[in-house]
């Protein structure tokens, strides 16, 4: 059974700092997705990673995928308050499984 | 049109009521999904429709009944719900038949359901 582990589950950081969220998964997959969710809102697609070594960047966020290590990272560069949200990774095998989410709180 | 539209946005229902949640997409996506999300938890998959046929039912209680009238519409019929069924119900669609494909999953804004 596919298991997806995210860490940390909660992160409080200062504006301007860099940090990384990790997503580990237990079985072979080459499809991984990152989503953002604001409180009470739906999920916004951030990145679709479809192959080993895939790297995608959008603004201050960069995501990568290492299928051999079964690991994806979401790196935040020079964080700003507007990035405060919950971030989910989701891995697809025979179905999609979400990680528990990382609640990111960026202090102004 | 790159949206998944869900109605209603909020719903309060009694335990003896019958109600339906609706979801619509006009992106030509081949698969549609229902998820349930409790507060501060990840979305949990409930049902998957692929080419208008139910392909996955994640052992959801029969008080939840999905329906896919056509490739653009997805309903979730609710009957005799319990207070613990209160949650955010999310609809999603994908171009791939049961997979996210190259573009991933597009989620609707959700229906906030409260069972009293």
- Residue A6: the pLDDT is 98
Q: What is the pLDDT of residues A46-77, one digit of tens each?
A: 999 988 889 999 999 999 999 999 999 999 99
Which residues does chain B have with pLDDT short of 70?
Answer: 1-2
pLDDT tens digits, chain A, 108 residues: what are they?
A: 889 999 999 999 999 999 999 999 998 887 899 999 999 899 999 999 988 889 999 999 999 999 999 999 999 999 999 999 999 999 988 788 999 999 999 998
Output the DSSP codes for B6-30.
EE-SEEEE-TT-EEEEEEEE-S--S
d(CA A67, nearest CA chain B) in Å: 17
Specify the CATH class of A4-107 in words.
mainly beta
- Residue B1: the pLDDT is 63
Q: Which of A49, A72, A96 to mutate to test the interface with B (most CBs of B within 10 A)?
A: A96
Q: Is the CB of residue A7 less than 8 Å from the CB of residue A98? A: no
Q: Which of B42, B94, B112 to mutate to test the interface with A (most CBs of A within 10 A)?
A: B42
């Amino acid at each position: 059974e596919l298991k997806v582990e995210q860490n940390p589950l909660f992160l409080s950081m200062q504006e301007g700092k860099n940090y990384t969220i990790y997503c580990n998964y237990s079985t072979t997959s080459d499809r991984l997705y990152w989503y953002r969710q604001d409180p009470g809102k739906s999920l916004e697609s951030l990145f679709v990673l479809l192959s080993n070594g895939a790297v995608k960047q959008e603004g201050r966020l960069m995501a990568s995928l290492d299928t051999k290590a079964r690991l994806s990272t979401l790196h935040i560069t020079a964080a700003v308050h507007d990035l405060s949200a919950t971030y989910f990774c989701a891995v697809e095998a025979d179905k999609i499984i979400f990680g528990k989410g990382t609640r990111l709180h960026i202090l102004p | 049109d790159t949206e998944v539209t869900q109605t209603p946005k909020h719903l309060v229902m009694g335990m003896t009521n019958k109600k339906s949640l609706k979801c619509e997409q006009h992106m030509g996506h081949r698969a549609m999904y229902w998820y349930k999300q409790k507060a501060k938890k990840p979305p949990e998959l409930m049902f998957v429709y692929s080419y208008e046929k139910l392909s996955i039912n994640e052992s959801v209680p029969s008080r939840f009944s999905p329906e896919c009238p056509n490739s653009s519409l997805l309903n979730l019929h609710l009957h005799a719900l319990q207070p613990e069924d209160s949650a955010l119900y999310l609809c999603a669609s994908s171009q791939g038949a049961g997979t996210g494909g190259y573009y991933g999953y597009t989620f609707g804004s959700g229906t906030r359901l409260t069972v009293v």
